[in-house]
Amino acid sequence: MKTLNRQNIPQFPERPVKVLQFGEGNFLRGFVDWIIDIMNEKTDFNGDVQIIQPIPQGMGDLINQQEGLYHVQLSGIQNGIAKESTRLINCVKGVLNPYEDYQAYLKLAENPDLKFIISNTTEAGISFNPNDDSKDKIPDSFPGKLTALLYHRFEVFNGGKEKGLHIIPCELIDKNGEKLKETILQYASLWQLPKGFIDWLNASNTFSNTLVDRIVPGFPKETIKEIQSDIGYEDNLVVKAEPFHLWVIEGPEAIKEDFPADKAGLDVIFVKDQSPYRTRKVRILNGAHTSLVPVAYLNGLRTVRESVEDPKVGKFLNDTIQNEIIPTLDLPKEELKQFANDVMDRFKNPFVKHLLSSIALNSISKFKVRVLPSLLEYKERKNELPQNLIHSLAALLLFYKGTFNGEETPVNDNEEIMSFFKNIWESDDLEKVAHEALRNIELWDIDLSTIEGLEAAVIQQMNLISELEKVK
């Protein structure tokens, strides 16, 4: 079998590096680089990606061995039909490890064609480290490295306005662009960088808040031999991902002009405020997951796919999304319904085995952030309680008992929460359990027992679910 490199396949056109990418993991390669590769094919973007390895050890050597080439395999359901496709990605130049050559890293800032900084360094990556006290040695944090690179660019181009960059972080934190800029300004202050640099940073560079959405399981270890046989190359960097993708980028029109993903038919949306889309994702996608887990598990189901295909639980989930979550959101109804339909297709993906037990981690805090806002907003708008979400809350409290129908439930939470539920479940009095759980402000940031009718409704649902247990 042939080795995957640029000598063994037809030559690709020479393109300038327009993107510096901090991070070489599966998500960026299966999402961002896949998008850029399609833009190169279908638009006049004509730009390649230089990856920066953000930590001393990583996948850089392996990526460089394949000269930046790898395949993305998409597997999932679109419009109710199972689909698979494979694409060779050729827009990645390679990986540079700044811990091995810091000066070569800084020199990347001298590229006049550079337009974008893209990153995904995990949620903890955008943080300030006061031990990074100088730009003259490699900072450990990602924002520190980026500050040093931006300052070098500022110096080389004498603060030229046209040499500012679009900075688009993909870390999964709210207001990620604002947080990154705030951290860079902390380093500028710590390093006593000149006011001219601060002015250039503010006036000539854009920091976009973003929302990214694609499930990327990563390297398909179980089927890699079959994939390599199909593509005819020994590719050790194959990335498996679902077909669905969404990238919401907040910023000025100039970003859309310079990054024409929408012209390539890709689901990349440029907006002035990404908050409604983040709320949509958290409430519908994440909220549906969290609502589903206790209900499905107590009904004897163990994976997401079998849950949504189950006649009873699948209908429950669809009704919950369509009739109780969507009415609490302010985006156009058709747009919300399409997103909801896509979510149900994603949950049915036959190529991904998504265990309910893996989603159950920290279910209380997830319910507080992802589901409770829909429940409370529904009550506010309709002046009545959403019965499915109430049912899910009741199932959650029973789930945290630790056993149901003679089997252990996979409760996995922090020590304080585990201890609290262990104590209240020493009683078999469902009314007492519900009251103690709902009135615990530390769980929900609100005393739920004070909401008219809520406690009684939860107790009623807990009794109904418990009767089901007795029947079984």
**At 128, which CATH number?**
3.40.50.720
Co-location of 461 and 411 in the same domain: yes
Is the pLDDT at 205 greater than 90? The verdict is: yes
Co-location of 107 and 169 in the same domain: yes
Q: Tell me what the mean pLDDT of segment 409-424 comes to.
A: 95
Structure-model confidence comparison of residues 9 and 148, the more confident one: 148
Measured between alpha carbons, how far is 416 from 324 in angstroms, rounded to an integer? 31
* Phi-psi map region of 206: left, alpha, beta (phi>0 left; psi -120 to 50 alpha): beta
* Band (294; pLDDT cuts 50, 70, 90): very high
Is the pLDDT at 160 greater than 80? The verdict is: yes
* Band (471; pLDDT cuts 50, 70, 90): low
Co-location of 92 and 232 in the same domain: yes
Is the pLDDT at 151 greater than 90? The verdict is: yes
Q: Tell me what the mean pLDDT of segment 462-470 comes to.
A: 84
Co-location of 231 and 346 in the same domain: no
Token digits for 119? 């990153």
Sheet with 81-89, side-by-side order of all strands: 81-89, 70-78, 239-241
The tally of domains found in the chain comes to: 2
Co-location of 454 and 347 in the same domain: yes
Which residue in this structure is represented by tokens 């297709």?
345
Instruction: Give the per-residue pLDDT at 449.
Output: 97
Give the distance from CA 420 to its chain's centroid.
30
Token digits for 69? 């080439």
Is the pLDDT at 469 greater than 70? The verdict is: no
Co-location of 308 and 192 in the same domain: no
Instruction: Give yes or no for a contact between 384 and 451, defined as CB atoms under 8 angstroms apart.
Output: no
pTM of the entire structure?
A: 0.84
Instruction: Give yes or no for a contact between 162 and 112, defined as CB atoms under 8 angstroms apart.
Output: no
> Per-residue DSSP letters for 58-111?
SSHHHHHHTTT-EEEEEEEEETTEEEEEEEEE--EEEEE-TTT-HHHHHHGGG-
Instruction: Give the per-residue pLDDT at 193.
Output: 98
Measured between alpha carbons, how far is 155 from 43 in angstroms, rounded to an integer? 32
Instruction: Give the per-residue pLDDT at 467.
Output: 86
Q: Tell me what the mean pLDDT of segment 247-262 comes to.
A: 94
**CA 334-269-319 angle, 5° bins:** 30
Structure-model confidence comparison of residues 160 and 10, the more confident one: 160
Is the pLDDT at 44 greater than 60? The verdict is: yes
Query: Judging by DSSP bridges, how do beta strands 70-78 and 2-3 pair with one another?
Result: unpaired
- Residue span of the structural domain in which 421 resides: 275-471
Q: Tell me what the mean pLDDT of segment 227-251 comes to.
A: 95
Give the number of residues written for the chain.
472
Co-location of 157 and 63 in the same domain: yes
- Identify the domain boundary among 271, 305, 330: 271
Instruction: Give yes or no for a contact between 95 and 59, defined as CB atoms under 8 angstroms apart.
Output: yes
Measured between alpha carbons, how far is 387 from 432 in angstroms, rounded to an integer? 21
Looking at every residue in the chain, the average pLDDT score rounds to 95
> Per-residue DSSP letters for 102-159?
HHHHHHGGG-TT--EEEE---GGGS---TT---TTS--SSHHHHHHHHHHHHHHHTTT
Co-location of 307 and 214 in the same domain: no
- Identify the domain boundary among 229, 253, 271: 271
Co-location of 366 and 411 in the same domain: yes
Measured between alpha carbons, how far is 365 from 454 in angstroms, rounded to an integer? 19
Co-location of 238 and 319 in the same domain: no
Instruction: Give yes or no for a contact between 37 and 71, defined as CB atoms under 8 angstroms apart.
Output: no
Is the pLDDT at 352 greater than 90? The verdict is: no
* Band (78; pLDDT cuts 50, 70, 90): confident
* Band (322; pLDDT cuts 50, 70, 90): very high
Name residues whose C-beta falls within 8 Å of residue 105's C-beta, 6 or more positions apart in sequence: 52, 96, 98, 138, 145, 149
pLDDT digits (tens, 9 = 90+) for 382-408: 999 999 999 999 999 999 999 999 899
First to last CA, the chain: 55
pLDDT digits (tens, 9 = 90+) for 165-203: 999 999 988 899 999 999 999 999 999 999 999 999 999
Co-location of 244 and 287 in the same domain: no
Is the pLDDT at 470 greater than 80? The verdict is: no
The CATH number assigned to the domain holding 305 equals 1.10.1040.10
Least confident range of 16-30, 99-113, 343-357, 373-387: 343-357
Instruction: Give the per-residue pLDDT at 37.
Output: 98
Name residues whose C-beta falls within 8 Å of residue 310's C-beta, 6 or more positions apart in sequence: 296, 299, 301
Instruction: Give the per-residue pLDDT at 353.
Output: 80
Amino acid identity for residue 186 in this structure: Q
Please report, to the nearest 10 degrees, the dihedral formed by the alpha carbons of residues 452, 458, 460, 463 taken in order: -160
Instruction: Give the per-residue pLDDT at 82.
Output: 87
Q: Tell me what the mean pLDDT of segment 343-350 comes to.
A: 92
User: Which helix (H) or strand (E) segment is 353 a member of?
Assistant: none
Co-location of 111 and 64 in the same domain: yes
User: Which helix (H) or strand (E) segment is 408 a member of?
Assistant: strand 407-408
- Identify the domain boundary among 244, 271, 298: 271
| Percent of the chain whose predicted confidence (pLDDT) is above 90 | 89
* Phi-psi map region of 46: left, alpha, beta (phi>0 left; psi -120 to 50 alpha): left
